[in-house]
Structure 1
Amino acid sequence: MAAKTSAGHLRQRVAFDERPPVSDGYGNSEGEFAEVFSCRAGFTYLRGGETVIAGRLEGRQPIVVRVRASSETRQITAGWRMRNLRDGAWAGSSGEEYWTGPLYAVRSIAPTEDRRWIDIMVESGVAA
């Protein structure tokens, strides 16, 4: 993103989901993803690097997502996933709901130098 980010650059609305630890009785401790919060975000699609081009050939798209730094956004970790609320919706019956849009796996989180923003590297086309 540009060096000077303002609220006008946050054109997308995204939701962040966390997989809470829930025991299934067989020694596994991962449950289904649940939405933690949603916020405004700006997207920067990566292009040009060798690994980025190779990822596109495999159906992956890395994106840097910039959000405002807050108590909510500071709790995001690499095990979370992100959904763009403009590109999908929940569908199905109450017990069998699924997201119709793309899902993005959170890969890394880095605050900017002025600590007002957080840059989150996400990737579509991979398991979260």
Structure 2
Amino acid sequence: MSIGAGDLRDRWTFQQRSVDANGARRGPWEEGFSVSTKVTWLIGSEAVMQDRLTGRQPVVLTIRESSVSRQITPGWRALDARRAGRVANITAVSPSKTRGFLDVLAVIGVAQG
């Protein structure tokens, strides 16, 4: 399965924490970058169903791979640029099955901190 520009219908902004006075990434969230994204809502497995029952929704955000997007780590978060208040905590980043893309596993509906 390949991904084309027509599949990247959503827009998400990726952010990371700023560095605090001690040099740790615990400061306020700082604006990162926005990219066109393909959102895949995970359904079906027992773990996913359990998450959904508790108000959490696991998703895969597929984005183009670049020098900037390769910096994303589980310490980052993603904001839906078209739906205010939809925030996803990033849990993992891996190469997509389609060359030139990254799959960002995230969970929507968890506490932000």
Above 0.5 in TM-score? yes
Detail structure 1 runs of 4+ shifted over 6 Å in the superposition.
none
**Which residue of the partner structure matches residue 103 of structure 2?**
119
Residue 20 and residue 50 in structure 1: after superposition, are their counterparts in 2 closer, same or farther (change >3 A)? same
Q: Which of 70, 75, 78 is the aligned partner of 2:71?
A: 75
2:11 maps to which residue? 13
Q: Which amino acid is 2:54 matched to? A: E
Measure how far apart 1:112 and its partner are: 2.2
Query: Is the contact made by 1:78 and 1:109 (CA closer than 8 Å) also made in structure 2?
Result: yes
Q: Percent identity?
A: 38
Using a 3 Å threshold, how does the CA distance of structure 1 residues 114 and 12 change in structure 2: closer, same or farther?
A: closer
Q: Distance in 2 between matches of 1:71 and 1:28?
A: 23
State the alpha-carbon separation in 2 of the partners of residues 113 and 10 from structure 1: 15
What is the correspondence of 1:56-95 to structure 2 with a 5 Å cutoff? 56-88=52-84
Structure 1 vs Structure 2 CA RMSD: 1.7
Q: How many residues align?
A: 112
TM-score of the aligned structures, taking structure 1 as reference length: 0.81
Larger radius of gyration: 1
Q: State the Cα distance separating 1:80 from its structure 2 match.
A: 0.3
